[in-house]
Amino acid sequence: MASDALPFGRLGRHAAHLCVDFQNMFLEPTPWHVPWLVRILPLVAEIARRKAEATIFTRFMPPHRAEDAPGAWERYYERWREFTRECIDPRLLELAPPLAGLVPPAMVIDKPVYSPFSGLRIDRLLRERSIDTLVVTGAETDVCVLATVLGAMDRGYRVIVVTDAVCSSADQGHDALVRQYQRRFSQQLETIDTETLLRVWD
């Protein structure tokens, strides 16, 4: 049954909150800083707090050394060697403090690339829990969130992007991708704001 906010119906026990890469290395003033992250943190934290048992946090986890990364990823980490695990302060890889305190019952899944669906673990976990719908928050709208959304759609999940709980370091990229989500993927993806989401998620 559709709701006014979501054309494909309200949310219930088969939905999970998938929060993408809300880590200190993006929140704090590093070269990978995402300025809008601090603004959306209260919204993401409220969703995660209310739905802690249904929340999965992903973490973007660099290789130990640039030489350990495959293909073009090695070149990427040669450019960003300070973010390899042999160089970075491990605290920067952790979730932002308000979110880290929700684990458990929330879960954490690490990923070496943009999409958590590059491996089998998250898909297996979701299937075991009979999850068919993913409510997506986090960063960045035009990089890891995009890869996550496309990976989820490829596997047949209903995807709902919370537009005021995702962000990018590039406003133009964020705005373009939100429009793309709304116009191009209308049968597989829905968009909603945080206030409405919390009202319609049973």
Q: Which residues contact 119 (CB under 8 A, 6 or more apart)?
A: 111
pLDDT score at 2:
44
pTM for this model (two decimals):
0.94
Coil/strand/helix, residue 138: strand
* pLDDT tens for each residue of 27-82: 999 999 999 999 999 999 999 999 999 999 999 999 999 999 999 999 999 999 99
DSSP 93-110: GSBPHHHHTTTTTSEEEE
pLDDT score at 46:
98
> Which residue, among 112, 186, 168, 158, has the nearest Cα to 18 in the 3D structure?
158
> What CATH number has the domain spanning 15-62+94-200?
3.40.50.850
* pLDDT tens for each residue of 82-96: 999 999 999 999 999
